[in-house]
A and B are shown apart, each in its own frame.
Chain A
Amino acid sequence: QVQLVQSGAEVKKPGSSVKVSCKASGGTFSSYTISWVRQAPGQGLEWMGRIIPILGIANYAQKFQGRVTITADKSTSTAYMELSSLRSEDTAVYYCASPEGTPDSFDIWGQGTMVTVSS
């Protein structure tokens, strides 16, 4: 059973960047995709993008194009999501998620990382 463990909470200034990690264990890292989903306080789920570690190919939601970069390090089974030009509206819990079976149906989730953007 794959498990995803994320890095800890972050507090950032507007205009800066944040990089959140997601370490996978218990499976073959390169064989599945890792997506990033965020949730602002009291709001719904928002998909940001995904990476296929075995190919190193990432896809992004149009809303985040140019501002988010998703990468993966196969040697450490870790995926990363970096969001730049942070603003207060980026305050949210950021989750990594992965399908164990059906592609892009997420049955495995990280514990979430709270990112607070505040001056």
Chain B
Amino acid sequence: EIVLTQSPATLSLSPGERATLSCRASQSVSSYLAWYQQKPGQAPRLLIYDASNRATGIPARFSGSGSGTDFTLTISSLEPEDFAVYYCQQRSNLITFGPGTKVDIK
């Protein structure tokens, strides 16, 4: 099973700041990595698929990069609605999710 590790566990930032979230895989997943946002009481929302492709309707401030084992989700300038938990997910070998990074208000 491919294990995903996310860092940091919590990221405390202010609106307008840049957020950089990391996801590392225990073995190469090529570019088969997605990012999701989840707010309390809601289902996850797909942000990025295949490492760097924004899903339909996702604002341009969200971007993804990386390949192999190291991936990054960047939010260029945090909006109030971006404070949430973010998960990475691989689909290279079955499916696994990372443990999540919580982005909260500083």
Q: Once the chains are docked, how many angstroms separate the CA of A61 from the CA of B97?
A: 12
Contact with B along A47-59 (1 / 0, CB 8 A): 1001000000001
- Asked whether A104 lies within 8 Å of B56 as measured between CB atoms, the reply is no
A106 touches B46 (CB 8 A): yes
Separation in Å of the B75 CB from the closest CB of chain A?
19
Closest CB of chain B to A108's CB: distance in Å? 9
Measured in the bound complex, the distance between the Cα atoms of B53 and A101 in whole Å is 12
- Which of B11-19, B65-73, B76-84, B88-96 is near enough to bind chain A? B88-96
| Smallest CB gap from A100: residue in B | B56
Task: Tell me the number of A-to-B contacts counted with CB atoms below 8 Å.
Answer: 60
- Number of A residues near B (Cβ < 8 Å) is 23
Taking a contact as CB atoms closer than 8 A, the residue among A44, A59, A95, A104 that contacts B43 in the complex is A95
Supposing A105-B50, A106-B46 touch, asked if A45 and B97 sit within 8 A by C-beta, the answer is yes
A102 touches B96 (CB 8 A): no
**With an 8 A cutoff between CB atoms, is A29 at the interface?**
no
**Chain B interface residues (CB < 8 Å from chain A):** 1, 32, 34, 36, 38, 43-44, 46, 49-50, 53, 55-56, 87, 89, 91, 94-100
